Amino acid sequence: MDHTSLVDIANSMVQKGKGILAADESTPTCKKRFDSINVESTEENRNKYRNMLFTADGIENYISGVILFDETLRQSTMEGGVPFPDHLTKLGILPGIKVDKGAKQLANTGDEKITEGLDGLRDRLKEYYDLGARFTKWRAVITIGENMPTAYCMSANAHALARYASLCQEQGLVPIVEPEILMDGTHTIDESYQLTTETLYNVFYELVSQGVELEGMVLKPNMVLSGYDCSEQASVEQVAEMTVDCFLNTVPAAVPGIAFLSGGQSDELATAHLNAMNQIDNTPWNLTFSYGRALQAPALKSWSGKDENILSAQDAFMKRAKFNSLATKGDFSADMEN
């Protein structure tokens, strides 16, 4: 694959002032979201909901790329019937696709997970490229718990992430590499720091040994946070400092950007943490966002499945997109929330 186009796409995905919308909820996850607003999760309703997000006026000012689910990649706008990848491309937004088949039980472990989906991936990638996708996503899940994560789980997931990434680059697609350490639990921010460090060492060791071009990928990691059930929650400043410090120790400067996942944080906290990181000025990469729930939650609630709510729901979505855009420059302030 042409080196320059992979690098150009990766840089475009993590440009200052913009971030990536994760709209790749699987059908079961989408059902959960829709259940929360009492809307039936039909293919048409999912199409309508994604259409509402992608046609929000001015979305291209804050969003550089959208991660789609297989079903959504094949759907079209409600007005005009334009395939979503074409609609996004016309706006200058890169269409992407989630390609993993989900996290399953890792053999011979208590409750650890391995992400599946490598079988047949090369052929699927060819099809996705032809359908208009220009980047991909694969999520690995690492759990913190009693005697977890094991070195076995970390290395198995790092190996799979690198195999996925090399296949994508071979097909001209930029891989988003997503090793997510779940923040559920009572662990402290120091434990989170240590395990994020170990995981990232494993991931980059595998990426380099499998010939993945670091300039042509995007990292989508967790932030270094206190476990959600930890009695002592770290401040926004401490989260920012420890996260940046962790990445300075583990992520090569060749990587063009880091697009953080929100991972269950509230919309406001996900924005505040990103903003505080971007006020630390010694990072070699662009620090941006690849949020799902933290961009969509207010819009989903506002919409509630009713056509007459579409404009107010789009406003709610654009507000979060704008705040996170400001946070990528360190220009957000908490007063804006009111």
Instruction: State residue 27's pLDDT score.
Output: 94
CB 105 within 8 A of CB 188: no
Candidate list 112, 178, 206, 213, residue with the active-site label: 178
What per-residue confidence (pLDDT) applies to 2?
Answer: 67
Per-residue pLDDT of the chain (338 residues; tens, 9 = 90+): 566 799 999 999 999 999 999 999 999 999 999 999 999 999 999 999 999 999 999 999 999 999 999 999 999 999 999 999 999 999 999 999 999 999 999 999 989 999 999 999 999 999 999 999 999 999 999 999 999 999 999 999 999 999 999 999 999 999 999 999 999 999 999 999 999 999 999 999 999 999 999 999 999 999 999 999 999 999 999 999 999 999 999 999 999 999 999 998 999 999 999 999 999 978 999 999 999 999 999 999 999 999 999 999 999 999 999 999 999 999 999 999 98
Judge whether 237 counts as a catalytic residue. Answer: no
- Domain of residue 297, residue span: 3-337
Nearest residue to 135 (alpha-carbon basis) of 175, 86, 84, 171 = 175
Query: 3-state SS string over the chain?
Result: CCHHHHHHHHHHHCCCCCEEEEECCCHHHHHHHHHCCCCCCCHHHHHHHHHHHHCCCCHHHCEEEEEECHHHHCCECCCCCCEHHHHHHHCCCEEEEECCCCEEECCCCCCCEEECCCCCHHHHHHHHHHCCCCEEEEEEEECCECCECCHHHHHHHHHHHHHHHHHHHHCCCEEEEEEEECCCCCCCHHHHHHHHHHHHHHHHHHHHHCCCCHHHCEECCCCCCCCCCCCCCCCHHHHHHHHHHHHHHHCCCCCCEEEECCCCCCHHHHHHHHHHHHCCCCCCCEEEEEECHHHHHHHHHHHCCCHHHHHHHHHHHHHHHHHHHHHCCCCCCHHHHC
Q: How many alpha carbons lie under 13 Å from residue 111 in its C-beta half-sphere? A: 6
Say which CATH number the domain at 250 has. Answer: 3.20.20.70
Residue 261's nearest CA partner among 235, 222, 230 is: 222
Residue 282 has a pLDDT of 80
178 in catalytic set: yes
Predicted model pTM:
0.97
pLDDT of residue 53: 98
Nearest to 237 by CA among 184, 279, 182: 279
Number of domains in the chain: 1
pLDDT of residue 1: 53
